[in-house]
């Protein structure tokens, strides 16, 4: 870890430390809507002025809040969230990638759904492949995608070796593929195989799981 990343982690830790206090968390919640004067904050929180001053100093020291004088009455001040105050608070490292490659065993359901969902969430190029591709995409995957406004028609499973390129950021979305491909650059999502039950509900559960994971991952990746 270089000096810059250590400093960034320390700054994030200071913010988390400040927000660990329930009163300060409530103050930040209020400030996400706009500026408030200390008097207004006191009224909203039912907090004595000396205690509020203590909490505001802690938020300022952590880089979460700033104060400025009113243009109308210079004796009055307003508190606001600092620029970028809440950036980086979600744990997780960022990565620069050229392309994301979703991989499962048969490339007939989970990896196809992940690729389609990724294209809705990020401009980073994506593709999918299988370690042992099936002849066609599973009907359950086609159906669940259609229910959510996604068209998988015309797509076919593809062999991993024919798709993978140097520098791909690989996301294995099934345990079999992950355990078959040790040491690849990327991450693993242990998504249960909907084909084991082959019901609409199983495919819906897999779709929802993948969608939530993509929502979490997309902000952490940027185009290399």
pLDDT computed for residue 55 by the predictor: 98
- Beta bridge partners, 66, equal 80
Does residue 106 contact residue 157 with C-beta atoms inside 8 Å? yes
Q: What is the pTM of this model?
A: 0.71
Token output for 155: 């797509």
Q: Which residues contact residue 198 at a Cβ distance below 8 angstroms, ignoring those fewer than 6 apart?
A: 138, 140
pLDDT computed for residue 183 by the predictor: 80
pLDDT computed for residue 93 by the predictor: 63
Using alpha carbons, select from 203, 199, 170 the residue that is nearest to residue 104. 170
Q: Which domains, from first to last, does the chain contain?
A: 9-81 (1.10.10.10), 95-223 (3.40.50.2300)
b/e for 155-177, b at 16 or more Cβ within 10 A? bebbebeebbeeebbbbbbbbeb
Token output for 92: 């997780």
pLDDT computed for residue 186 by the predictor: 87
The gap from C-alpha 18 to its chain's centroid, in whole angstroms, comes to 23
d(Cα 68, Cα 76) in Å, to the nearest integer?
9
d(Cα 218, Cα 224) in Å, to the nearest integer?
14
Q: What's the Cα-to-Cα distance from 162 to each of 38, 107, 115, 159, 167, rounded to whole Å?
A: 62, 13, 17, 5, 15
Token output for 142: 């086609």
- Per-residue tens of pLDDT for the chain, all 224 residues: 344 478 888 988 999 999 999 999 999 999 998 999 999 999 999 999 999 999 999 999 999 999 999 989 888 999 999 988 988 787 666 678 999 999 999 999 999 999 999 999 999 999 999 999 999 999 999 999 999 999 998 899 999 999 999 999 999 999 999 999 988 878 999 999 999 999 999 999 999 999 999 998 998 888 87
pLDDT computed for residue 157 by the predictor: 98
d(Cα 173, Cα 189) in Å, to the nearest integer?
5
């Amino acid at each position: 870890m270089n000096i810059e990343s250590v400093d960034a982690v320390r700054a994030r830790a200071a913010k988390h430390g400040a927000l660990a206090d329930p009163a300060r968390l409530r103050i930040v919640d209020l400030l996400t809507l706009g500026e408030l004067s200390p008097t207004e904050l006191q009224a909203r929180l039912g907090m004595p002025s000396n205690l509020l001053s203590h909490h505001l100093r802690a938020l300022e020291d952590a880089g979460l809040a700033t104060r400025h004088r009113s243009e109308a009455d210079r004796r009055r001040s307003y508190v606001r969230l600092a620029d970028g105050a809440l950036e980086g608070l979600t744990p997780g490292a960022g990565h620069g990638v050229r392309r994301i490659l979703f991989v499962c065993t048969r490339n007939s359901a989970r990896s196809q759904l992940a690729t389609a969902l990724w294209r809705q969430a990020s401009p980073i190029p994506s593709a999918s492949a299988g370690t042992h591709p099936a002849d066609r995409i599973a009907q359950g995957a086609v159906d669940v995608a259609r229910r959510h406004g996604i068209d998988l028609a015309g797509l076919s499973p593809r062999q991993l070796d024919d798709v993978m390129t140097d520098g791909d950021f690989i996301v294995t979305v099934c345990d079999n593929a992950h355990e078959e491909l040790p040491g690849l650059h990327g991450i693993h999502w242990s998504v249960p195989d909907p084909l084991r039950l082959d019901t609409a509900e199983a495919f819906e559960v897999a779709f929802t799981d993948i969608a939530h994971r993509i929502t979490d991952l997309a902000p952490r990746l940027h185009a290399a």
